[in-house]
Amino acid sequence: MLYWHNPFPIYDATYIFKVYPRKKTTGTNPRYYTTFFWGNDGSFTWDTGNTANSYYGAHPYPVPAPMGPGQWEISVGSNDWVTGTEVQWDRWYTQVFRAWRESPTTTWHEFYWDWPDQTKVIRVPVNDPNWASKNPPTPAIVMGQAPNVNGASWGGYAGWEEFDGIIRGIQIYSGLLSLTDIQSEITAPKSSAAGTSFIWYLNLDPRPTDVTDKKVIGTPHNPSWDGTTALEWSQVQAAPSGDTTPPSVPTDLKAKPVSPNQIDLSWHKSKDKEEKDKGKDKDKDKDNDKNKNNKDDKKGDRDDKNKNDKDDKNNDKDDDDDKGKDAAGYLVFRNGIRIADVKGTSYSDKGLAPGTTYSYRVAAYDAAGNVSAQSSPDSATTFIEGIPPKHIH
């Protein structure tokens, strides 16, 4: 478990991190996870009457508990607020958590679990004058595992709330950032005025050998370890498939208005370059071996015939390589905001405003989580009744 004792006050705060969750499927242990908590480094129920107070966190939560598949959740106010759908395992997420005090009696908690898609969000208010009115005995931020209490974690299970997967890209801010500032900070830490003012901890590539604060400015806030340096931080899992090459950029994106409230999109397939290049290397090796054997064993006209045959076969192989392996899926962006994750090469964007122009881009991703650059944009204007649709290139 990575932890910071006596951090900044519980409200206001902004957290940014990247996670690659893996599904817990074996054994009889409860299937809880911990991405992060702000709370007590000790008993969960520390307040008067053995009640929980002054904490929040976000992670996969088993539904139904304790053995069900995980759903993204906000844990706060002695409740677990979930998305209603199972986590998509074995892929990267950029996640954002914001917490702020609106009034002496109301606090807000906001978890964007698949940024930059701002529709994938959980928002939870706590309306209670006693909530977070005092600090826990040992205030702490923890990541990767809930604190242990007499051999058991906050949920009462020894080591069973550990995150299973990879955690990277940790950015912690001791204040509330706007959504615009958040996107700026994800693109380049300390690039916004608010981000520069509030940044509290930064390490985009934390590992067991180096979890030091990399923000450079201000006081460094270096975390500590409790227990083993778990696998979510290790080098071994940094590239689950060994594939670090993104697919090719999608091409020929077309946006076509079909009604006052819908625009249809289509584009050409992207190819997995890693698979394509590996395939070519293997074919070249085979061809070289064949060329050597044929050169040694065959003479004269037979050499010419074999060479021609091989050239034809090689051309066929190159054609196959050009086909490549299709990308695993595509991310669709409307006006710079991600709105969909699809497997095919088309998407219908519905629920739009009439007579409004929308701009779209598409990016491809592969099974290893590598994402291509975004395509060239295309725009279209939804139909106004009595006026033909307008299509802009």
Q: Which amino acid is at 305?
A: K
Average pLDDT over residues 171-177: 98
Q: What is the pLDDT of residues 305-354, one digit of tens each?
A: 554 554 444 444 444 444 568 888 898 888 877 677 788 999 999 888 89
Number of Cα atoms under 13 Å in the Cβ half of residue 71: 18
Supply the pTM of this predicted model: 0.63
Instruction: Spell out the domains of the chain, with CATH numbers in brackets.
Output: 2-225 (2.60.120), 251-273+324-382 (2.60.40.10)
Burial class (CB in 10 A: 0-12, 13-18, 19+), 159: middle
Report percent pLDDT > 70 for the chain.
76
- 163 and 232 Cβ atoms separated by less than 8 Å: yes
pLDDT tens digits, one per residue of 11-32: 999 999 999 999 988 767 778 8
pLDDT in tens, 49-68: 888 999 999 999 999 988 99
Residues 206-241: tens digit of each pLDDT: 887 789 999 999 999 999 877 554 556 654 444 444
Q: Which one, of 170, 162, 165, lies nearest residue 232 by Cα?
A: 165
Rg (C-alpha) for the chain, rounded Å, is 26
Mean pLDDT of the chain: 82
